[in-house]
Structure 1
Amino acid sequence: MEEVDGQVIQFVECESGLDIHKVVREDLDDDGRPKRTGTMWTASAHIITAVIGSGVLSLAWAVAQLGWVAGVASLLTYGCITFYTSNLLAECYRSPGTGKRNYTYMEAVKDNLGGKMNFACGMAQYANLNGLVVGYTVTAAISMVAIEKSNCFHRRGHEASCEVSHKPYMIGLGLFEIVLSQIPNIEQVWWLSIMASIMSFGYSSIGAGLAFAIMLSGHGKRTTVTGVEVGPGLTAARKMWRMFTALGDIAIAYSYSPVLIEVQDTLSSSKPEIKVMKKANMISVAATTVFYMMCGCLGYAAFGNSAPGNMLIGFGFYEPFWLIDLANIFIVLHLVGAYQVMAQPVFCEVESLCRRKWPKSEFVNREYPIKIGRRNLNFSINLFRLVWRTMYVVVATGLALALPFFNDLLALIGAVSFWPLTVYFPITMYISRKKINRATIRWFMLQFVNLLSLLIALAAACGSIEGLGEALRIIK
């Protein structure tokens, strides 16, 4: 690549081996799209926003079901597996030989494994993303309610009946997300991801800090090597289901593969994207594992075998109430950003399909720049984007309002989609790209990771189904 008369000339090698050249504008990337500006830090922020959700506060409960040995081993094992398979997936961003970019996870699967696998990937990926969007709406509303309840308990005592409706908060969050959803693409929500990442560290640190304070005060509850013990109120079968659910919670908590390729597509091409993405994977998974270990282990040490499902939302702590309120505010702000990180790939896919189907439609393609006086705000409105994204948020909010037990359903969706998206497709694409022969040591090792993850995903799905059945029985 060299500069001639103010233009960038990029030389490429065609299949015949002859050098040809094409003129590329300085403000465009090699694929003709606007120059990407993402860095290792913005990619890390996107990943941390996608991974560290308020579910980190339920890891104390998960460790309590498994005990010290299996709980800690699961946290470390799945951190290692996620880091490894994420690096395998990052290698699939560009096609071997041609160097063509794959803009989405589905394109990467189609490029490496063919059309049938592409369809299966799309089903798992978009079920996961759409489910998370609805789940985030439910969880953010629960955190907002927790703030009101915390203040009520502080005024009236811990035994007071402080019932608060979630519905107004869900509607309010939906209205706010309608506005944020007009941000055109995931690259432009980098500032929201950085804010959300800071918030996730904030509430995780508060939860871990409060648990550590209980330990120091000498009021920590009894813990065991094997976790919650079978006895009055807990049958052996129920213990098994809880262990399955806990394994699924830990595995799913690490998963960010559904948005990895889309995040990698935001990176600047000034450096090889795969190297930058692998560094972002390392930073993100390492930071995530540290916080998961802190919250899971300190929370279990503080609450013992009676650890609540969520240390902050479930009122494992009541005081200091202002700190609990602050932590729940952090959770809400984090989920506002995480909502966009998960929704943007869905928005992009639908809009790309519509632009290809109706390339001459002004409603679909025309951008209307926004100005104040003569000043251009570098922001535009597209009518199709405005209508379609508004409808999407309205439907997601409606589902959150209609399904009070949606988190149990979300756990099932996550359990079913975790194995194919985080483990199976990255490993299978890697075997195909590297032409790894069957029955070799490397092939057996990769398939062992694949099989282990499949078994845990099936166990987690069984636990989720049992939890969903329990939720339906309670409603009846």
Structure 2
Amino acid sequence: MATVPVNEQSFALDIVKTDDDGRLNRSAEIAGGKDVKTSLTGTVVGVDVTGTEKIWNCFQAIGNIAFAYTYSSILVEIQDTLKSSPPENKVMKKASLVGVATTTTLYMMCGTLGYAAFGNKAPGNFLTGFGFYEPYWLIDFANLCIAIHLVGAYQVYTQPIFKLVEDSFRKKFPESGFITKEHPVHIPLYGVLQVNSFRLLWRTAYVIISSVLAMIFPFFNSVLGLIGAMSFWPLTLYFPVQMYISQAKISRFTFTWTWLTILTVSCLIVSLISAAACVQGLITELHAFKPFKFVS
């Protein structure tokens, strides 16, 4: 067994082992101790990044955090599927509490354990950002979990888009059989599935185009942060707060109205700065960008 030397910036100890067949197997181990540099303030200005880069990265990180909490847009959809008893508002309060607590716990664990393992050089994407691909089964299992999660999440988040486009075309072309006619298809062990030609073509094209664009422009952190910054304030904060003010009939310039307004304006400022930071990150990454080769 031979140990491959690691430099001062490396955070993985690669071990190369020859098996009975003479083939090389590589395994990797997260290194702790002297090679991992951590600090209370994170990356060191002048060593790891410049002062300007650190500011941009901090606001870009806020956008990434905001993306994890942009769930308000589907709360109404979920509530519509609930039974009237027990009361929907009580069920949604419990569901929101459990969901937010679970999300916060998992992301905090990911952030703290990731920083403890990789220090100031911790990558934005633990699965692809640091060259640690062994044990292969663990990385494959993590990617499988992400795929299962995204299959469901993709459907939930794109349904409003699908419905908007399909309803618009039905209103514009009510006489078109291609758009309005349903074709029954018998599927064993399932029954009859109603297939619409336009729906099949449109949704397939949407998935293909969005997937190709994601492969062409794989700017993971910047794009994620930009989406989070753009959607967090209006969908998670502004509209819910305004609906609450209207429903509770809170008068202007009262204590509650004042603090809700301060919260709304503060988050708007942070969202705008985060969006600007993510745009700056996209511009920076484009300088080294190569289609289908660049990994962020």
Unaligned runs of 5+ in 2: 1-22, 291-296
With over 3 angstroms needed to count, the CA separation of the structure-2 counterparts of 1:250 and 1:471, relative to structure 1, is same
With over 3 angstroms needed to count, the CA separation of the structure-2 counterparts of 1:466 and 1:429, relative to structure 1, is same
Shift of 1:368: 2.5
Shift of 1:455: 2.1
Give the structure 2 partner of residue 265 of structure 1: 80
Give the structure 2 partner of residue 45 of structure 1: none
SS at match of 1:331: helix
Give the structure 2 partner of residue 425 of structure 1: 239
Corresponding residue to 1:464 among 255, 278, 284: 278
**AA matched with 1:463:** A
Shift of 1:308: 1.5
With over 3 angstroms needed to count, the CA separation of the structure-2 counterparts of 1:362 and 1:475, relative to structure 1, is closer
**Pair 1:255-2:81 in alignment:** no
Number of equivalenced pairs: 268
Q: Give TM-score scaled by structure 1 length.
A: 0.51
With over 3 angstroms needed to count, the CA separation of the structure-2 counterparts of 1:265 and 1:397, relative to structure 1, is same
Shift of 1:307: 0.9
d(CA) in 2 for partners of 1:295, 1:329: 18
**Pair 1:389-2:200 in alignment:** no
Give the structure 2 partner of residue 141 of structure 1: none
Corresponding residue to 2:141 among 326, 351, 356: 326
Match runs of 1:13-52 below 5 Å:
none
With over 3 angstroms needed to count, the CA separation of the structure-2 counterparts of 1:441 and 1:314, relative to structure 1, is same
Shift of 1:423: 0.7
Shift of 1:446: 0.8
Say which structure is richer in helix: 1
Give the structure 2 partner of residue 408 of structure 1: 222
Match runs of 1:23-422 below 5 Å:
155=24, 221-315=36-130, 317-359=132-174, 361-372=176-187, 377-405=191-219, 408-422=222-236
Tell me how large the CA RMSD over aligned residues is.
Answer: 3.0
With over 3 angstroms needed to count, the CA separation of the structure-2 counterparts of 1:302 and 1:402, relative to structure 1, is closer
- Greater relative contact order (Cα 8 A, min sep 6): structure 1 or 2? 1
**AA matched with 1:222:** K
d(CA) in 2 for partners of 1:324, 1:344: 30
Shift of 1:220: 8.1
8 A Cα contact 1:365 1:382, kept in partner? yes
With over 3 angstroms needed to count, the CA separation of the structure-2 counterparts of 1:462 and 1:347, relative to structure 1, is same
Shift of 1:221: 2.6
Shift of 1:300: 1.2
8 A Cα contact 1:370 1:376, kept in partner? no
d(CA) in 2 for partners of 1:233, 1:406: 20
Identity among equivalent pairs (%): 51
8 A Cα contact 1:363 1:383, kept in partner? yes
d(CA) in 2 for partners of 1:255, 1:444: 24
**Pair 1:447-2:261 in alignment:** yes
Shift of 1:387: 2.0
**AA matched with 2:222:** D
**AA matched with 2:283:** G
d(CA) in 1 for partners of 2:193, 2:90: 32
With over 3 angstroms needed to count, the CA separation of the structure-2 counterparts of 1:315 and 1:337, relative to structure 1, is farther
8 A Cα contact 1:219 1:302, kept in partner? no
With over 3 angstroms needed to count, the CA separation of the structure-2 counterparts of 1:270 and 1:383, relative to structure 1, is farther
d(CA) in 2 for partners of 1:315, 1:233: 16
Q: Give TM-score scaled by structure 2 length.
A: 0.78
Shift of 1:359: 4.9
**AA matched with 1:298:** L
Q: Deviations 1:168-201 (Å, cap 9, x if unpaired)?
A: xxxxxxxxxxxxxxxxxxxxxxxxxxxxxxxxxx
8 A Cα contact 2:67 2:232, kept in partner? yes
